[in-house]
Amino acid sequence: MAPAKLSGFCKQGNDWLYNARLPSDITIIVDGVNFHLHKFPLMSKCGKIACMLEEMQSIHDRTFTTKLEEFPGGSDTFLFAAKFCYGIQVEFTARNIITVYCAADYLEMTDEYGEDNLLSKAESFFHKNVLHNWKDCVLALQSCESCMPRAEKLHILQKCLNAVSTMVCTDPSLFGWPMMMYGSLQSPGGSILWNGINTGAKIRSAESDWWFEDISYFSVGLFERLIKTMEARGIRSEYLAGAVMYYARKFLPGLGRWQSRPSSKARTVASFSLIPAAVDQRDLLENIEKLLPKKKGKSFCRFLLGLLRVASILGVNQTCLDSLERRIGMQLELASLDGLLIPSFSNSDTLYDTDCVERIIHHFLSSESGLTLFSPPSLDLLSSPSFEPLRKVARLIDNYLAEVASDVNLKPGKIRSLAEVLPDSSRTLHDGLYRALDIYFKAHPWLSDREKEVLCNIIDYGKLSIDACAHASQNKRLPVRVVLQVLFFEQLHLRAALAGCLNVLEAESAPTGQGIAPTEIAGNVTATGETSQRIVQRDGWVTIVRENQVLKVDMERMRSRVGELEDKVSKIKLEMKKVKKSRNSLSSPCIVAGKFGCKPLSKSSDSQTDVVGSTGPTPRPSFEQPHSSRHSGHRKSLSLFRDLTLGS
């Protein structure tokens, strides 16, 4: 096999040789690769090798072999340094500058061993070319993985991180960004320039996430260092959170099922030719959780829930899980129902991880502890904006209970503990709890009435709406005792609503002169006030809030229902009057006398017929009039009928 020649060097198998007529007198081994070189070129440039040769001079007169442990950049970087020692022209690039810089420091290639030595040249290129260009900084950072400790010692790693952090806060067009790299770059103001010529194409708008894709090619450790550097330099937390979320979505494919992609277009990195970093997903997730800032928002809460779901799959440590649950609990009112439906990946038989949700609720209550200190809460507290998160969480948990209730393996004690973890003041209506229990009873028909009654104790029947009471009163899945309680509270609701409607109707009809007297209204008002006072004394603030809310919701329904009842009553009165008229006509003396051949009387009881046959409603004063004329007319008719019968 012919040796491969490259700038005076050739490779034979695992050995590198310099094409010279003189035999090599030194062999250096780097990462298993043998370099057969000459002493003089190396001693004139490398202080480390010169010292090694001086120490070994007495033992090895002709040749000697040495091995360089943990050489920065490996054999490729040593070949670069060897070519420089032999005077062969080398090229500094953003990809090799940090490794060459570290190798020159390792070999002690300072100006003491030659003017413009490798270390000074690398340092000059690094400061003049790399630190002022975004692309070169990103490439240099990605290529420094093999020499991270030495780069940290030389402070070149931190300098790159500081430069990247500074350019993130700067207009990209100001630090030598090739405009054709990303096509139509979106940056603040002005037109797109090509080689200094105004193209006339306007840049649409500035985007704060243009750098997310570029730094997502870093390893987990380097990405963590960069985010911490940005945080120390005061970059806004929402930008850092966006970068962390972007990085997590890229390397944790499980997040894609529950997370929406960013609205901005992904940047093209073809000219970078970056290689995605190889990451361990479990370590990545644990580090991502530490990097996330304290932030609240719907999208951020959804991201945290997706992260918690993936964490359960990967089996991360308990500290990471506890921290994620605590973060979600602090903004539980912003969570969605599908986000809370976390599958159970443990040994539990249930479909969903209800224990995790219960812990999240406890974290929410601990973060909102100021709301739970009021006992009992006042009406102002219930309507205050600070109490709104608790109401939202209550509705969310009620919907969650309805979703998990269909799981046949869900125990009654678990659904009861989930329902009771929130305080009673968080729910103004218990319709959601009733719906969840109804679904649970349907999915668990083997439950006994005793078990059902214990579960139904979590429902406050006084907080059920009229529709929920109507449904529960006809629900065959509920125990009889529960149905009786529902019917009792339904009657209370109807009575309260009807009393309110009648009071309103009587108050509206009072000016017409046909309503009740003002003294009666005052008496009713006084009686109502006394009743209200007794209710307050008996049940306290709970009854006041309950009655107030139920009446507000169901007042309009009761108005229409009362109207329908009045129509039905009027129709029944008309039918009854028609029946009475038919009976009176059949039993009148005129018809009876005609049947027996007698002449009927012309003036039997006209006045009574008019009274009975009247179709209009009888006014209230008519009940106080004497009824002697009606009774006397009936007596005359009966006596005439008796005489005619005896005479025949």
* pLDDT for 191 beyond 60: no
* pLDDT score for 486: 80
How far, in Å, are 99, 172, 206 from residue 189 at the CA level? Answer: 38, 11, 8
Q: How confident is the model at residue 502 (pLDDT cuts 50, 70, 90)?
A: low
Distances (CA, A) of 599 to 234, 308, 457, 588, 634: 117, 102, 77, 13, 18
Percent of the chain with pLDDT over 90: 34
Of 446, 431, 444, the closest CA to residue 405 belongs to 444
- Look at residue 164 in the predicted model and tell me its pLDDT: 93
Q: Which of 221, 226, 247, 93 is nearest to 167 (CA)?
A: 226
Q: How far is it, in rounded angstroms, from Cα 222 to Cα 514?
A: 88
Integer angstrom CA distances of residue 255 from 107, 205, 216, 321, 335: 46, 29, 16, 16, 16
Measured distance between the N- and C-terminal CA atoms of the chain, rounded to whole angstroms: 154
Residues 6 or more apart whose CB falls under 8 angstroms from that of 525 comprise: none
Cβ pair 140, 183 in contact under 8 A: no
Domain ranges of the chain: 8-172
Distance from C-alpha of 341 to C-alpha of 50, rounded to nearest angstrom:
68
Q: For residue 283, what are the contacts with CB-CB under 8 A and spacing of at least 6?
A: 220
Tracing tokens 């970078």 back to the chain, one arrives at 272
Q: CB 148: neighbour CB atoms within 10 A?
A: 17
CA 407 to mean position of chain CA atoms: 23
Give the integer Cα–Cα distance in Å for 292 and 310: 16
**Confidence (pLDDT) at 14:** 84
Alpha-carbon gap, residue 425 to 378, rounded angstroms = 10
pLDDT in tens, 426-476: 899 999 999 999 999 999 999 998 999 999 999 888 888 888 888 888 888
Q: What is the pLDDT of residue 435?
A: 93
Q: In the beta sheet, which residues pair with residue 5?
A: 10
For 86-218, where are the alpha helices, taking DSSP H only?
Answer: 97-106, 118-125, 134-142, 148-153, 156-168, 212-215
Statement: residue 334 has pLDDT above 60: yes
Q: Do 203 and 185 form a contact (C-beta atoms < 8 A)? A: yes
pLDDT for 178: 42
Give the pLDDT of residue 556: 64
In the chain, the amino acid numbered 447 is L
Query: What topology is assigned to 8-172 in CATH?
Result: Potassium Channel Kv1.1; Chain A (3.30.710)
CA triplet 271, 272, 275: central angle to 5 degrees?
130
Q: How many whole angstroms separate alpha carbon 146 and alpha carbon 219? A: 12
Task: State both tokens at 245.
Answer: 């979320």
Mean pLDDT of all residues in the chain? 75
pLDDT over 60 (residue 643): no
User: 237: which 2 tokens?
Assistant: 């937390």
- Which three-class secondary structure state does DSSP give residue 4? strand
Residues of the chain above pLDDT 70, percent:
66
The answer to whether 97 touches 131, Cβ cutoff 8 Å, is no
More confident residue, 521 or 140: 140
Residue pLDDT, tens place only, 20-70? 778 888 899 999 999 999 888 898 899 999 888 887 765 555 677 889 998
Q: Which of 53, 47, 5 is nearest to 27 (CA)?
A: 53
Q: What is the pLDDT of residues 223-243, one digit of tens each?
A: 999 999 999 988 888 889 999
Half-sphere exposure of 273 (CA within 13 A, CB side): 5
pTM over the 0.75 mark:
no
Separation of CA 579 from chain center: 67
Average of pLDDT values for 266-282? Answer: 61
Neighbours of 138 (CB within 10 A): 22
621: DSSP letter: G
Task: Output the CA angle 374-326-288, nearest 5 degrees.
Answer: 155
Q: Give residue for tokens 């750098």.
A: 211
